[in-house]
Amino acid sequence: MSGVITRRQRGLLPLLVASILWGVWTTGEKYSLAGLSVVTLLTITLAASAALLWVILLWKGHQRPTGKQLRLLALLGLFEPMLGYGAIGLGLAYIDAAEAALLDGTEAVFIVALAAFVNRRLPTGRAVAGVVLAAAGVALLGGPRADLGLSLGSFLVLAGSLAAAIATMIAGRVVLDMDPLVVTAYQFGFGLLFMLPLLIWQWGTDATALTAGVNAGHWAVAAIVCGGGLGVAYLLYNHSITRLSVSAAGVILNIIPVFGVAAAIIFLGESINLWQFVGAALIVSGIFLFSEADLDE
């Protein structure tokens, strides 16, 4: 029994650190966008994280995926990180990092909805309550607006969360027999390959790839905090997920939005008003209502 407890404790701390890194990622993206375009920032992020993952993968050694697996991994890379992180990056140009971190936490809501649709089953009562609470929280983030409409930035971040949820569904169904490190390394590698043509096009035709106020800090945060942090977060996640139950891991991962809001307040000086606080509480409460069965793809 003591061995099981020790193993779980060893899995808990790395997952907690990974959750903090994922939360801080949004703040790093927001800061770097003051000097870099979304395409430039995302390319740097993916290059740094993919390089780290591939160095570890090549050091450990792995069996090359089959042709079918490569096509599926390319599809994963398209939805996440390219479309998912790309949409979130675009959204951050319009909204604060704190709000984006909360909206990004709605990925679990989309997973529940997609799982119910794909598996043709009704979600549990807890899941329905969780979706309702999270949706109400999203609506309150913008304050007491009569139309409850979403801003462009909020819509883009939600679209990014949906893309990430689709990627999760794909991964859960077709690559369960593969090493998570292999999946993540190829996934980020393909995401980077998809971004390179956009980067070449923008730098060749668009003068807004950099802003007048760009400095070394923007490049460093993009590469180290966003790219390196993302790679380390996935490595820690892969290490922890085999040592913890899905339920225990879910509790830690569900508080990523809290870390994201805290990072935005501490490092960017952002603040949240009463409506955003209530909305944040509803989103986090809704996410915690989801059970392991609800999130099972």
Query: Within a domain: residue 4?
Result: no
Amino acid at 248: A
Query: Within a domain: residue 2?
Result: no
Residue 138: pLDDT over 80: no
Q: What is the pLDDT of residue 140?
A: 73
Give whole-number Cα distances, 278 to 191, 202, 284, in Å: 36, 40, 10
| Per-residue b or e along 265-289, where b marks 16 or more CB atoms closer than 10 Å to that residue's CB | bebbebebeeebeebbebbbbbbbb
> Model-level pTM?
0.84
pLDDT in tens, 148-196: 456 889 899 999 999 988 888 887 666 667 888 898 999 999 999 999 9
Q: What is the pLDDT of residue 210?
A: 77
Kindly indicate the confidence band of residue 242, based on its pLDDT and cuts at 50, 70 and 90.
Answer: low
Domain limits for position 100: 10-289
Number of folded domains that form the chain: 1
Which span out of 97-106, 156-165, 206-215, 244-253 was modeled with the highest average pLDDT?
156-165
Query: Within a domain: residue 83?
Result: yes
Residue that the structure tokens 């309550």 belong to: 129
Q: What is the pLDDT of residue 2?
A: 34
Kindly indicate the confidence band of residue 147, based on its pLDDT and cuts at 50, 70 and 90.
Answer: very low
* Alpha-carbon span 290 to 108, nearest angstrom: 8
Query: Within a domain: residue 21?
Result: yes
In this prediction, what percent of the chain has a pLDDT beyond 90?
40
Q: Regarding predicted confidence, which is higher, 284 or 64?
A: 64
Query: Within a domain: residue 296?
Result: no
Residue 90: how many other CB atoms lie within 10 Å: 20
* Alpha-carbon span 49 to 51, nearest angstrom: 5
Residues whose CB is less than 8 angstroms from the CB of residue 282 and which lie 6 or more positions away in sequence, other chains included: 133, 134, 136, 137, 140
Query: Within a domain: residue 3?
Result: no
Query: Within a domain: residue 297?
Result: no
Q: Which of 87, 115, 111 is nearest to 26 (CA)?
A: 87
Taking the alpha carbons at both ends of the chain, their separation in whole angstroms is 31
Query: Within a domain: residue 294?
Result: no
